[in-house]
Structure 1
Amino acid sequence: MITPETFEFDAVDDVVADVAAGKIVIVTDDADRENEGDLVMAAEKATAASVNFMAMHGRGLICVPISNGRAEQLGLKRMVAENREMYSTDFTVSVDAADGVTTGISAHDRARTIQVIANPISEPNDLVQPGHVFPLRAKDGGVLRRAGHTEAAVDLATMAGLQPAGVLCEILHDDGTMARLPELMRFRKKHGLRICTIQSLIAHRRVREKLVEREQIVKMPTDYGDFDLHLYRSKLDGSHHLALVKGTISPNKPTLVRVHSECLTGDVFASRRCDCGNQLHAALRQISEE
């Protein structure tokens, strides 16, 4: 069985550096998902030459993944009201640049449209609909919310310090079938491109990024003494998490920690169907005695 571990991939930092430099990279997803490799680059770095390369050598559909914020800024409505695509790829109505293009389909014209989409000061009137470029809306939270090429392209552009907009194109064989890992590795070697997996992007972000932010701290008197109640908000989905802290935590000493799964019926109503409430109280008691 061929797995990603069978092949040598580039470090995410090296891939990000190439994206920052305006180069095209290859991003692959899982074999049990789309099982494909896409050419990916930052939208603001797109040129007629890079669009032509994607069209000639990638052969797939050239799309422009963007953040939800950018889509709203440009007034890009979703292509359909009910998305029934297998992986819920979030297409908007296709567009062309309002100025600086002819028919809209040439490599130059599509590069111009991509540049307009990536420009942070562009407005809805700078685009016309329909057109020859297909924007895609990425999930907020990127690959940590949805492990797709759309999110990977936006994440790579953002990680490179660029606008939250990318360009992607699926890589096909000469006969029109999808290129799989062995072929992608040969393609990568032939054209001198870096390659990474979406899973490596997920792992990289989980290690490197702070995924929650603290919103508030209040004093919390309990039967087990006074605690500080910290309120955190997830940057991925906006959900809130609580942390009860007793005293001062020292990085040089081991800290007793209880990770408690929220259970409304057990924690609040003392349900006899579970022992969640008892576990919570036992943990607070033990922490207070430390």
Structure 2
Amino acid sequence: MTAGQGLTGGRPVVLLDDAGPHPGTGVLVVAAAAVDPATMAFVVRASSGVVGVALPEERLDALRVPPQVAGAAGPDATAFAVSVDLRRGITTGISARDRAATVRALADPALRPDDLVRPGHVLPVRARAGGLAERPRPAEAALALCEAAGVQPAAVLATLVGADGDAAGPVAATAFATGHGLTTLAVSDLARPSGSRPPLRRSAPAVIPTRHGPFTAIAFDDGAAEHLVLVRGNPGRGSAVAVHEECLAADVLGSLRCGCAGRLDSALAALGRGGCGAVVLLRAPRRGFAADPVGCTAGRRPPGDPTADRILADLGLTAPTALPDPLADAG
């Protein structure tokens, strides 16, 4: 099921905010016009309980719902407007049923300013008129999804929260989506101009036990090859990362003629000790087996590999710290 089909059917979509101040944070998105009490209850349980509704800023101006903070919000700030409730047909405004009614009303083009009470229990979020081209963030991405799905430009937004109470990062958000059969995509996938490189497609995460401890494995398909990431812990900005290009002779057969196997094992061991980071395993272009260590160009890759950078950005691992290369250090 595509994200657009999910929204049309009233199902949530998990959006990864890979361009925000906390890259990779998972955000639940639901078409506002389709929200019923059961869906609202699901959104509240999966999040901190703070429920926003992305709406075009000109629509909120017409409804006389001003920004919470006067003046332009900072580039990374969520542009919250004054909270609202529906004036008639609800009780306290806080229940899932009441919030669902307010959210559906906000998606109704016939809604008038006098139909709303301010403040309330639903937080409108002002989406920029320029859309993703002006601001590639969840509010603008949610309205882009609504447009693609052919539904009213109004979408529920709620940040996913993990069992520890913190905002769910990319690994936890993807696992949540998989567990509930929801589509996952990144803001950057929606912001990418038409005709550019295809978006990354990620698989469901799976825990793999290794002699260096358990790692979460996530496969990424970039349209040319399928790559694998082994994640340890819950990494984020500045976490330790190693990029390894496959070497069939060493990685599969254990050949000692080059140092590739040692490099990979060293990276996994370092993360096993440190408890947090990732190893990106890139699928190599078609090549034969290396005949000698000098001729082997696989193994550890330098920082800045474009494919690895795309994958790391999708996971929210920005400004990574490169793990030491044991062979380079020895040489």
The aligned amino acid for 2:189 is S
Secondary structure, counterpart of 2:194 in structure 1: helix
**In the alignment, what sits opposite 1:43?**
32
TM-score, structure 1 as length reference:
0.64
**In the alignment, what sits opposite 1:52?**
41
**In the alignment, what sits opposite 1:141?**
130
1:96-175 maps to which residues of 2 (within 5 A)? Answer: 96-175=85-164
Secondary structure, counterpart of 2:92 in structure 1: coil
Cα distance, 1:84–1:144 mapped onto 2, change above 3 Å = closer
Deviation of the 1:134 alpha carbon: 0.2
The aligned amino acid for 2:18 is D
Runs of 5+ unmatched residues, structure 2 = 197-331
Asked which structure has the greater CA Rg, the reply is: 1
In structure 2, what is the Cα distance between the partners aligned to 1:132 and 1:174?
Answer: 24
Secondary structure, counterpart of 1:206 in structure 2: coil
In structure 2, what is the Cα distance between the partners aligned to 1:178 and 1:40?
Answer: 15
Deviation of the 1:141 alpha carbon: 2.4
**In the alignment, what sits opposite 2:64?**
75
1:1-290 maps to which residues of 2 (within 5 A)? Answer: 14-30=2-18, 33-35=21-23, 36-83=25-72, 87-203=76-192, 206-207=194-195
Write out per-residue CA displacement over residues 99-129 of structure 1, whole angstroms, 9 at most, x where no aligned residue: 1110000000000101111100110011110
In structure 1, what is the Cα distance between the partners aligned to 2:73 and 2:57?
Answer: 19
Deviation of the 1:86 alpha carbon: 6.5
- Give 4+ residue runs of structure 1 displaced > 6 Å after superposition: none
* 8 Å contact kept, 2:40–2:96: yes
Write out per-residue CA displacement over residues 168-194 of structure 1, whole angstroms, 9 at most, x where no aligned residue: 100011221121111112111111110
Q: CA RMSD in A?
A: 1.9
In structure 2, what is the Cα distance between the partners aligned to 1:32 and 1:65?
Answer: 16
Cα distance, 1:114–1:99 mapped onto 2, change above 3 Å = same
In structure 2, what is the Cα distance between the partners aligned to 1:94 and 1:57?
Answer: 21
* 8 Å contact kept, 1:60–1:171: no
The aligned amino acid for 2:153 is P
TM-score, structure 2 as length reference:
0.56
Secondary structure, counterpart of 1:72 in structure 2: helix
In structure 1, what is the Cα distance between the partners aligned to 2:4 and 2:133?
Answer: 17
In structure 1, what is the Cα distance between the partners aligned to 2:173 and 2:123?
Answer: 24
User: How many residue pairs are counted as aligned between the two chains?
Assistant: 195
The aligned amino acid for 1:38 is V
The aligned amino acid for 2:6 is D
* 8 Å contact kept, 1:60–1:172: no
